[in-house]
Amino acid sequence: MFMFWDPMYLIISLPAIILVFWAQWRVKSAYGKWLRIRNARGLTGLQAARMLLNYNNLGHISIEGTRQLLGDHYDPRTQTIRFSPDVADSPSVASLAIVAHEIGHVAQDAESYVPLKARNVIVPVAQIGSNLGPILVILGLVLAAYLRTPASREFAYQVAWFGVLLFGGALAFTLITLPVEFNASARARAMLTDAGLIYADEMPGVRAVLDAAALTYVAAAAQALSQLLYYIMLLGGFRRRD
C-alpha cells in the first residue's frame, strides 16, 4: 500500500511501530524466560486451570488444545478455554500466569463484566472496519484523483470518509480491549495468590509475563490510532489541494 512510501505516514506511525516491535520482544523474552522456570508446586498449566476453575465455581468451562504458539484464549461463545501445549503441559511460572489470565476472562464473562460485553458486541464492526475501512479510504482517494465533476469528486470523498469511520470501529475495539486485559491480569494475580498456587517469590515472574502481554495490546491501540490519524490527515490534505 502506498502509505508505506509516504514520509508523513512514517512520521505519524514510527513511534507506534517501534512500540509494537518492543512489545513483541518483551513478550518473547518474558515468556521464554519464565517458561523455563518451574513453579514451586510443580503444577502444569492444565492442572492449575482445573484447580482455578473449581476454586471459582466455574467447573463447567471446557478446556481444549490449540497448536498456535501463544494462541491461548477464552472463547465466550462456546465457554471454552484453549491452551497451547507449552502452557498446558509445562509446570512453569509462565504457564500459571497465562492460565490464570484466561480464567480471569472466564470470571469476567460469568460476572457480565461490562467492557468485555461491549468488546464482544463490536467484534463484527471491528473486523469489517479493519479490513474494509482502509480499502474504502484508498478507493475514495483514487476516485477523487480521476473524477472530474464536483459532484462525483464529493462522492469519492464521502466513500473515503466512510472508510475512516469504519476503521474507527477497529480503533474502538483496541481501546476497549485495554481495560478488559488489564482487569483479567489483575484477577489472575489475585486468584493465584488466594488459591495458594504460587509463592511470593514467583509473583515477579507472573507480573513480568502478564505485563509484557498487556504491552502488546497498548501497542496495538497506538498503531490503530496512528493509522486513523494518518487517514484523516491524508484526506484533509487532498481536500485542501482540491
> What does the chain come to in residues?
242
| 212 pLDDT above the threshold of 70 | yes
Contact 210, 97 (CB under 8 A): yes
**pLDDT-derived band at 91, boundaries 50, 70, 90:** very high
Residue percentage of the chain with pLDDT more than 90: 78
Nearest to 159 by CA among 140, 134, 143: 140
Rounded-to-integer distance, Cα 103 and Cα 62, Å: 11
pLDDT digits (tens, 9 = 90+) for 100-150: 999 999 999 999 999 999 999 999 989 999 999 999 999 998 888 888 888
| 4 pLDDT above the threshold of 60 | no
**pTM, rounded to two decimals:** 0.88
**pLDDT-derived band at 239, boundaries 50, 70, 90:** low
Contact 90, 37 (CB under 8 A): no
Whole-number average pLDDT of the chain: 91
Which residues are registered as beta bridge partners of 92? 38
**pLDDT-derived band at 240, boundaries 50, 70, 90:** low
pLDDT recorded at residue 150: 85
Show Cβ contacts of residue 120 under 8 Å, excluding neighbours closer than 6 positions. Answer: 76
Show Cβ contacts of residue 28 under 8 Å, excluding neighbours closer than 6 positions. Answer: none
Which residues are known catalytic residues?
A: 102
- 502444569: which residue's cell? 44
